[in-house]
């Protein structure tokens, strides 16, 4: 029934001379305008000189001013980088760069690859590699500026140029190592399973995601960071007791050298349902008391106890099925291919790429809905930690992270709705009914370097 409906929809949408290219450009410009209007609203909040009343007793004026300055610097950087990406994306579409790069990929295979490697799947993989290379080189100046100018100015960056380049090369190597077999299987499934390919593709991607959850902490993380067991002591005893109390299947308790790249502070858990690993950033240990680290982990374990990770995985599967089934509507759309310069060929991967361009207007709405959901989950995890008796420690750890990260103290409500997966600090403290008994951060902390102002995953 679903397949029959999709086939009828596909025939209806395949209209000769339909202006797909102009439609995509219109979508892209509208999304760009929306994003930058939201950024402008947030910039006005970042220009305020008075701090939120709820934080007046916890955050001094110099720290607030520096936080505002850092927020404005990030907003300006975000505008110029998005402007560049917008211009690049429009140029790619308007000047038919896709068919040109596709032709180059085919030419490279014809000249340099053995005949057994010819074919659409191999050409698609070379096409992806070429585009990835172009994007990497085009984005390098912005990446360099972000790490070595913007972050450096505010004392966050700890990377050397050598480490920055090494990370980039490792990322490219991993993309090829995993992208080639996954991409080949992705395209083979579509080619071999006919009109109902989206059922098989959906199952395949579920297997890939579950495998990634297993492989990432074991093989990928050690390529970039060093992991060591948490040393014996009060903290280890406290965390193990907490995990035992909640019946959390704790297999390993490790510390990661996050300070190798930045002062970003966090903790997370990963692994299979029957054996999980808790990983604590060394920077979190340096900046927090044992009880505050326990409070952070109590929050994270709250996500596990209430099944938030599983729920998000199920939601992602529904979204994937919706995406793949809708792709079946466009996979053979002649007017779509021709609008973007593919008059004689209809490569499957190109079709998927163009389909995603058409689907992009829904991204903002999906992001908004997901943010509403994840913010609700953050409140629940906070309440879980408070119920365990960590109210004071959780509140103080949130405020410390806010100060150390120079995170924005306030946010425009509409901007935060579209961009923040977590509630802002004042909202979380209010929901916890948290009241400080004494100043959280004393003067001795003023000279410490702040942590990197990333989105706090706590």
User: Per residue in 205-217, is it b (16+ CB within 10 Å) or e — as a string?
Assistant: beebeeeeeeeeb
Statement: residue 438 has pLDDT above 90? no
Asked if residues 456 and 266 have their Cβ atoms less than 8 Å apart, the reply is yes
- Low-confidence winner among 9-13, 111-115, 262-266, 395-399 (lowest mean pLDDT): 262-266
- The DSSP code for 270 is E
Nearest to 369 by CA among 410, 312, 448: 312
Q: Write the burial class of residue 341 (CB in 10 Å: 0-12 exposed, 13-18 middle, 19+ buried).
A: middle
What is the average pLDDT across 333-342? 93
Domain 227-287 is in which class? alpha beta
Q: How many residues does the chain have?
A: 458
Token pair, residue 175, equals 């993309």
Residue bearing tokens 């980039």: 168
Catalytic residue annotation: 300, 382
Please report which confidence band the pLDDT of residue 1 belongs to, taking 50, 70 and 90 as the band edges.
low
| Sole residue written with tokens 């799947």 | 121
Which DSSP helix (H) or strand (E) runs through 375? helix 361-387
Highest mean pLDDT: which range of 279-283, 382-386, 391-395, 426-430: 382-386
Residue set of the binding site for Zn(2+): 299, 303, 378
Query: CATH 3.30.2010.10 occupies which residues in the chain?
Result: 227-287
CA angle (139 as vertex; 135, 145 as ends), nearest 5: 170
E strand or H helix at 399, and its extent?
helix 391-405
In percent, the amount of the chain with pLDDT more than 90 equals 58
Please list the alpha-helical segments (H only) found in 47-160: 61-94, 97-112, 120-145, 151-153
Whether the pLDDT of residue 444 is over 70: the answer is: no
Q: Report pLDDT for 51.
A: 85
Give the global pTM.
0.84
* Nearest Cα to Cα of residue 102 among 82, 125, 80: 125
């Amino acid at each position: 029934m679903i397949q029959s409906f999709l086939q009828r929809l596909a025939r209806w949408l395949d209209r000769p001379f339909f202006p797909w290219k102009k439609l995509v450009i219109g979508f892209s410009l509208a999304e760009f305008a929306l994003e930058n209007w939201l950024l402008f609203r947030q910039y006005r909040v970042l220009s305020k000189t008075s701090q939120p009343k709820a934080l007046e007793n916890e955050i001094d004026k110099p720290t607030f001013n520096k936080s505002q300055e850092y927020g404005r610097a990030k907003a300006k950087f975000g505008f110029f980088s998005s402007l560049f990406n917008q211009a690049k994306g429009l140029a790619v579409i308007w000047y038919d760069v896709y068919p040109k790069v596709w032709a180059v990929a085919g030419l490279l295979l014809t000249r340099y690859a053995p005949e057994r490697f010819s074919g659409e799947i191999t050409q698609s993989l070379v096409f992806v590699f070429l585009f990835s290379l172009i994007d990497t080189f085009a984005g390098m100046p912005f990446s360099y500026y972000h790490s070595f100018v913007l972050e450096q100015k505010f004392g966050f960056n700890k990377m050397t140029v050598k480490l920055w380049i090494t990370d980039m090369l490792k990322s490219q190597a991993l993309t090829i190592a995993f992208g080639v077999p996954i991409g080949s299987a992705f395209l083979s499934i579509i080619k071999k399973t006919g009109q109902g390919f989206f059922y098989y593709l959906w199952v395949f991607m579920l297997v890939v995601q579950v495998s990634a959850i297993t492989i990432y902490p074991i093989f990928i993380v050690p390529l970039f960071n060093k992991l060591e067991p948490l040393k014996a002591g009060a903290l280890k005893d406290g965390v193990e007791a907490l995990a035992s109390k909640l019946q959390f299947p704790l297999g390993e308790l490790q510390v990661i050298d996050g300070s190798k790249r930045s002062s970003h502070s966090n903790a997370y858990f990963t692994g299979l349902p029957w054996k999980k690993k808790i990983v604590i950033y060394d920077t979190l240990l340096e900046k927090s008391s044992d009880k505050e680290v326990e409070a952070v982990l109590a929050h994270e374990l709250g996500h596990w106890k209430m099944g938030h990770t599983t729920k998000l995985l199920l939601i992602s599967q529904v979204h994937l099925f919706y995406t793949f089934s809708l792709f079946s509507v466009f996979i053979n759309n002649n007017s779509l291919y021709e609008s973007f310069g593919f008059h004689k060929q209809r490569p499957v991967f190109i079709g998927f790429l163009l389909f995603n361009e058409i689907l992009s207007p829904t991204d903002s709405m999906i992001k908004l809905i997901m943010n509403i959901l994840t913010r609700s989950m953050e409140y629940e995890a906070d309440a879980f930690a408070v119920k365990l008796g960590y109210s004071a420690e959780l509140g103080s750890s949130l405020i410390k992270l806010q100060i150390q990260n120079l995170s924005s103290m306030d946010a425009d409500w509409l901007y935060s709705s579209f961009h923040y997966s977590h509630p802002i600090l004042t909202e979380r403290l209010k929901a916890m009914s948290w009241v400080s008994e004494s100043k959280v951060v004393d003067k001795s902390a003023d000279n410490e370097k702040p942590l990197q102002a990333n989105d706090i995953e706590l």
